[in-house]
């Protein structure tokens, strides 16, 4: 009831402002020849068609009328071209990767990052930061045996923490997030933390809370009306509190590295790599600045904590819901690995069913259903339309992962869709949870390794059960916005 009243008051305020502000709206940039879409109202844009709290669902509904490429207005000034389905997204992000390689707006975090860091930057800044970040991650183990061993060691720490909970129901989300956060902390800061560390728990909870705030109905409303909401006192208090917690932790880690940096190298971690490069004589136009370092590391900490843990957690929930799938994974692990041997990345080819389950978990969850906004780096011709430079684009990854033209009965959990007739793993070109093109997730390799090694370590060690009936387990996200937030659940583990 309170939410309805708040929404009604907000709508009333916006309507009252229409008369006074509509005449002062700035002229929009060149329209080009844009795809069709619903007609916007002055100041409100397409608010009537796109309700905050159901933004993704609203866009999918509009695609039924306007097709796979259409235009919407989020508020009075934000005009967005929406791409729906595998074919449209692949044509844009894959076939015209350069043109669609700009980063769009994430209004809830724009004032914090201010176009800095590897995730939110554009142009030459982004090119320099992406190259250095990728090289730094590889130098400290990503994609190498050292990185695999690091994840395997953390997986065994996680198994040990699960063993302490054996015989009693528990929510695994915090432990999973601490495990994945420790992996990224080891790579970026060169340090891991005990699961009992109170500061570490606060950082992990802040990362999870930040994702929830971005994805919430308030976060979606902010994407449409940030110009109106940002000046209001307290409108971002909870979100900024989470950002402050993460930023304070990151700043302390960077300062410690600055205090004991060995200029002769080699780099111990990602922060060292940045600092050593910054200490060298640089071109005046270099983007290797302290602000870009802070914002890059802050993003890595946030993303490395919440994305993988949410996916592993959703995978465990699905195995509770479908015990026959869990039994097949256990049987495959026992047959191919036997007891006691730590799973490694080299085992993936021998575990096609387990690999198929992990792919189906990611596909069904569609962690970032709306994708991350892009902008056009130049005026572009796409499917008969002319999209001006700077046009913002939403590539709806959820619509790709659930595209009925590619995946039969896409809302069902069916690992068999990733297996061929002989039971071997089968790839799908529409499996794009990491997006596509030049802005593809830079940690894709790390994410895949962590998902496989953490998931197999847990399933090798434990049988999973739920303290509540299977039909009471919901698979629906508790929040669906920027991200699909999996529901909380209780887990029972029994050593195998």
In a domain, 119, yes or no: yes
pLDDT at 344: 95
Q: What is the mean pLDDT of residues 9-32?
A: 47
Q: What is the mean pLDDT of the chain?
A: 91
How many Å apart are CA 191 and CA 281, to the nearest integer?
A: 28
Q: What is the mean pLDDT of residues 313-322?
A: 98
Both tokens assigned to 338? 């036997």
DSSP string, 49-76: T--TT-HHHHHHHHHHHH-SEEEEEETT
In a domain, 388, yes or no: no
How many Å apart are CA 123 and CA 121, to the nearest integer?
A: 7
How many Å apart are CA 32 and CA 389, to the nearest integer?
A: 9
Q: Which domain holds residue 444?
A: 107-370+413-495
Query: CATH number, domain at 468?
Result: 1.10.630.10
Residue keyed to tokens 């990728």: 134
Residue keyed to tokens 């930023």: 247
> Residue 115: is its pLDDT beyond 60?
yes
Residue keyed to tokens 């919440």: 306
> Residue 362: is its pLDDT beyond 80?
yes
> Residue 260: is its pLDDT beyond 50?
yes
Q: What is the mean pLDDT of residues 258-277?
A: 91
In a domain, 41, yes or no: no
Strand order through the sheet with 102-103: 69-74, 78-83, 392-395, 374-375, 102-103
In a domain, 245, yes or no: yes
Nearest 5°: CA angle at 487, between 483 and 492? Answer: 135
In a domain, 71, yes or no: no
Give the number of domains in the chain: 1
Q: What is the mean pLDDT of residues 369-396?
A: 96
Cis status of the peptide bond prior to 266, with omega within 30 of 0: yes
In a domain, 21, yes or no: no
Contact 376, 444 (CB under 8 A): no
In a domain, 54, yes or no: no
Measured CA to CA in angstroms, residue 21 lies from 49, 79, 87, 413, 436 at distances of 22, 18, 40, 49, 39
Range scoring the smallest mean pLDDT among 129-143, 187-201, 402-416: 129-143
pLDDT at 22: 43
In a domain, 352, yes or no: yes
Burial label for 242, CB within 10 Å (0-12, 13-18, 19+), is buried
Q: What is the mean pLDDT of residues 235-260?
A: 93
Contact 15, 42 (CB under 8 A): no
pLDDT at 29: 44
pLDDT at 234: 66
């Amino acid at each position: 009831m309170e939410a309805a009243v708040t929404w009604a008051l907000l709508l009333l305020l916006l309507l009252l402002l229409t008369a006074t502000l509509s005449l002062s709206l700035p002229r929009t940039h060149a329209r080009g020849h844009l795809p069709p879409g619903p007609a916007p109202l002055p100041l409100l844009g397409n608010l009537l068609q796109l309700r905050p709290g159901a933004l993704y669902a609203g866009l999918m509904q509009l695609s039924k009328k306007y097709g796979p490429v259409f235009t919407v207005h989020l508020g009075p000034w934000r005009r967005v071209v929406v791409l729906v389905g595998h074919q449209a997204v692949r044509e844009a992000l894959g076939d015209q990767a350069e043109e669609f390689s700009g980063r769009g707006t994430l209004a809830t975090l724009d004032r914090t990052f201010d176009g800095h860091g590897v995730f939110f930057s554009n142009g030459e800044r982004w090119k320099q930061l992406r190259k250095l970040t990728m090289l730094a991650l590889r130098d400290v183990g990503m994609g190498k045996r050292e990185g695999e061993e690091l994840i395997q060691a953390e997986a065994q720490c996680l198994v040990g923490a699960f063993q302490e909970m054996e015989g009693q129901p528990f929510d695994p989300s915090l432990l999973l997030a601490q495990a994945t956060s420790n992996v990224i902390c080891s790579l970026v800061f060169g340090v891991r933390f005990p699961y009992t560390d109170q500061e570490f728990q606060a950082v992990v909870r802040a990362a999870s809370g930040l994702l929830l705030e971005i994805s919430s109905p308030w976060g979606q409303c902010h994407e449409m009306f940030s110009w109106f909401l940002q000046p209001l006192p307290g409108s971002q208090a909870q979100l900024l509190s989470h950002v402050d917690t993460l930023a304070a932790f990151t700043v302390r880690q960077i300062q410690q590295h600055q205090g004991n940096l060995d200029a002769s190298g080699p780099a111990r971690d990602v922060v060292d790599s940045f600092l050593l490069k910054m200490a060298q004589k640089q071109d005046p136009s270099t983007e290797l600045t302290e602000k870009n370092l802070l914002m890059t590391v802050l993003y890595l900490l946030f993303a490395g904590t919440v994305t993988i843990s949410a996916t592993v957690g959703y995978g465990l929930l699905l195995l509770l819901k479908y015990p026959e799938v869990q039994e097949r994974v256990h049987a495959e692990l026992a047959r191919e690995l036997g007891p006691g041997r730590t799973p490694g990345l080299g085992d993936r080819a021998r575990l096609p069913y387990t690999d198929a389950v992990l792919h189906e978990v990611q596909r069904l969850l569609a962690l970032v259903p709306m994708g991350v906004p892009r902008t056009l780096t130049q005026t572009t011709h796409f499917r008969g339309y002319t999209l001006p430079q700077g046009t913002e684009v939403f590539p709806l990854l959820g619509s790709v992962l659930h595209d009925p033209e590619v995946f039969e009965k896409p809302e069902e959990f069916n690992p068999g869709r990733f297996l061929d007739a002989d039971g071997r793993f089968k790839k799908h070109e529409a499996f794009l949870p990491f997006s596509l093109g030049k802005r593809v997730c830079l940690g894709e390799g790390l994410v895949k390794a962590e998902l496989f090694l953490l998931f197999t370590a847990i399933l090798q060690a434990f049988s999973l059960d739920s303290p509540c009936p299977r039909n009471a387990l919901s698979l629906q996200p508790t929040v669906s916005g920027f991200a699909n937030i999996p529901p909380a659940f209780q887990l029972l583990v029994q050593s195998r």
